Amino acid sequence: MTSALKNIIYNCKQATFLIEKRIAGKITTAETLQLRIHLAGCSVCKVYQQQSILINRVFVGFKNTDFKLDEAFKKTLTGKIEKEINKN
């Protein structure tokens, strides 16, 4: 067994690192294989992977329309713009 393979089979730190790299970027074919082998035998990292994907989904899931400004602030804002326009 190559040392890289040995390293990943037992190493959750490396496995979770590869999980993140795969989700947000790219990993090599060798890394994909290593990760697959690790996940086949590691239920804890499988839970991690599911939750990691979920976190991204929840984070991105907020829509712009989920956030609304309060009327008081809008009023202040309008006031400031008017003042700025009338400055000179």
Partner 1 sequence: MQNETDKGLTAKSPHSDPLSWVEKYADYLYGFAMSRLRDEDVAKDLVQDTFLAGLQRLDRFEGNSEEKTWLTAILKNKITDFYRKRSAINLKVINAEDEQQDFFDAESGHWTEKHYPRAFGLEADNPLMMKELGSILNECLAKLPGLWFSVFSMKHMDDLASELICTELKLTAANFWVIMHRTKLNLRACLQKNWN
User: Is the Cβ of residue 29 or residue 59 nearer to partner 1 in the bound state?
Assistant: 59
Q: Which two tokens stand for residue 85?
A: 């326009």
Alpha-carbon separation of residue 47 from 20, 23, 26, 82 (angstroms): 13, 15, 21, 54
86 binds partner 1 (CB under 8 A): yes
Contacts (CB under 8 A) with partner 1, residues 28-67: 44-45, 47-48, 51-52, 54-56, 58-67
Among 50, 44, 49, 18, residue whose Cα is nearest residue 31: 18
* 86 DSSP 8-state letter: T
Q: Min. distance of Cβ 12 from partner 1 in angstroms?
A: 5
Count of residues engaged in binding partner 1, rule: CB under 8 A = 45
Say how many C-beta atoms besides its own lie within 10 A of residue 49's C-beta: 20
Q: Which residues bind partner 1 (CB under 8 A)?
A: 7, 10-14, 16-17, 20-21, 24-25, 44-45, 47-48, 51-52, 54-56, 58-69, 73-74, 77-78, 80-82, 84-88
